[in-house]
Structure 1
Amino acid sequence: MHNTTTESVIVMPVERKDDTYALRLCLNQGLMTPGMLRRVLEVIEKYNLPSLRATTGQRMNLEGIPTDKLDEICDALGTRVEKCAPGATVCPGKGICKYGIQETADLGNAIVALVKKNGPYPFKIKSGVSGCKMSCGLSYVRDIGLVATAKGWDVLFGGCATRNAAPGVLIGESVSADEALKLLEKALIFYRENGKKRERTAATVARLGKEALLAAVKA
């Protein structure tokens, strides 16, 4: 570790109530290289920062950034952005987890690319990919959710984990990865064209009815 070359990190400032900031590390599927870890550790030690906290979106928040040091610490870490690029919560999948029945990483990346391709949207999109029905990718309550089956993927759209929590609408059952992506592209277009500003997918589906969504993805 001590011989590791440091690598820059993409960070997004998040304002806190106590007049400090957190810096969100914009990670892909929660993965950090040794070089990224070295860079973060050096910054924590140099500025005596209190904590590094995992988020439900498989990213990390470096907490306790003083306002007057924000720009300096952003530069020390790497690249500052106003908003992290879309990501996906992805479980380890078949290749790593003993419960996994399908591989997840490549499909997670494909979903992120699909979301980027078809935007912008009325509001943010959260995605989850789970290699089994234990749903460690939180797939049932994400805007986009994929859950592995023995024959392929169950595809859900419009899940919600907030006050009116509910699973997404099942728009595909035991389909291939390619079929799943085609269904999701139609669902994203449906949301892009029918959602109101700052309305999440779950609210759009609730307002228009799941029958309208199912009709759109089957067209």
Structure 2
Amino acid sequence: MNNIVAEPIMVMPVERKDGTYALRLCLNQGQLTAGMMKTVMETMVKFNLTSLRATTGQRMNLEGIPKDKLGEVIESIGTAVEKAPPGVSVCTGAGICKYGVQESRSMGDKVLAAVKQNGPYPFKVKSGVSGCKISCGLSFVRDIGLVGTPKGWDVHFGGAATKNAGLGVQIGTKVSEEEALDLVGKALRFYKENGRKRERTSGMLRRLGADAVLEALK
């Protein structure tokens, strides 16, 4: 590891019930470089931290940080933010997975760019891109979800994996990449204009009704 240069990581502190803290590593598509891994390992050894946990959102939580050591650990690992930037859950896609029919990782970057471009929003936006209908990117239960088919992309809007879990509505079927991204932008702008403060897209969908949302997004 001596030839690997440590890289700083953006982190979000999260307070736990027992008074300790976790640092959420703000990763893109769950990917860690060798330099990031070196930073994490050196920090864990230095402060005797024993738990690094993968999250469902394809990020990592460095757990068990004492409150009085939080500032030092942040300084060791990178910089802190109050809120993690938007992320997107993706599968490995057609380039790697034998089931994949569409390439998901590059599409995930484009969806994430659309989310960032059209904000801010009434509340958080979670996205998922899956290269096939097995949906390892959790696309059916994301605010924005894309599912690859042999003939293009199915686009879903308003899904949720919260306590009021539910599938999103399908706003596009077997569309091209360009058409899918256009629908994503249109759905995000609709949410920005019609969602209430701290209301997820799923809550807006229930409040307005699926038919009204589908009609507005034609």
Aligned to 2:92: 92
How far residue 80 of structure 1 moved from its aligned partner, in angstroms, is 1.2
How far residue 107 of structure 1 moved from its aligned partner, in angstroms, is 1.0
User: 1:95-120, CA deviations, whole angstroms, 9 ceiling, x for partnerless residues?
Assistant: 11111111011111111111111111
What residue identity is the alignment partner of 2:202? A
- Consecutive unaligned residues of structure 1, counting only runs of 5 or more, are none
Aligned to 1:42, the other structure's residue is in SS state helix
Tell me the TM-score normalized by structure 1: 0.97
Aligned to 1:3: 3
Aligned to 1:26: 26
How far residue 64 of structure 1 moved from its aligned partner, in angstroms, is 0.5
Structure 1 runs (4+) deviating above 3 angstroms are none
What residue identity is the alignment partner of 1:70? L
Aligned to 1:37: 37
Aligned to 1:73: 73
RMSD of aligned C-alpha atoms? 0.9
User: Matched residue pairs, number?
Assistant: 218
Aligned to 1:187: 187
What residue identity is the alignment partner of 2:153? W
Aligned to 2:209: 209
Tell me the TM-score normalized by structure 2: 0.98
Aligned to 2:158: 158
**Identical residues among aligned pairs (%):** 65
Q: For 2:130 and 2:57, how far apart are their aligned partners in 1?
A: 13
What residue identity is the alignment partner of 1:170? Q
Q: For 2:54 and 2:11, how far apart are their aligned partners in 1?
A: 14
What residue identity is the alignment partner of 1:167? L
Q: Is the 8 A contact 1:129 1:145 kept in 2?
A: yes
How far residue 164 of structure 1 moved from its aligned partner, in angstroms, is 2.3
Aligned to 1:167: 167
- Matching of residue 196 in structure 1 with residue 196 in structure 2: yes
- Consecutive unaligned residues of structure 2, counting only runs of 5 or more, are none
Q: For 1:30 and 1:177, how far apart are their aligned partners in 2?
A: 23
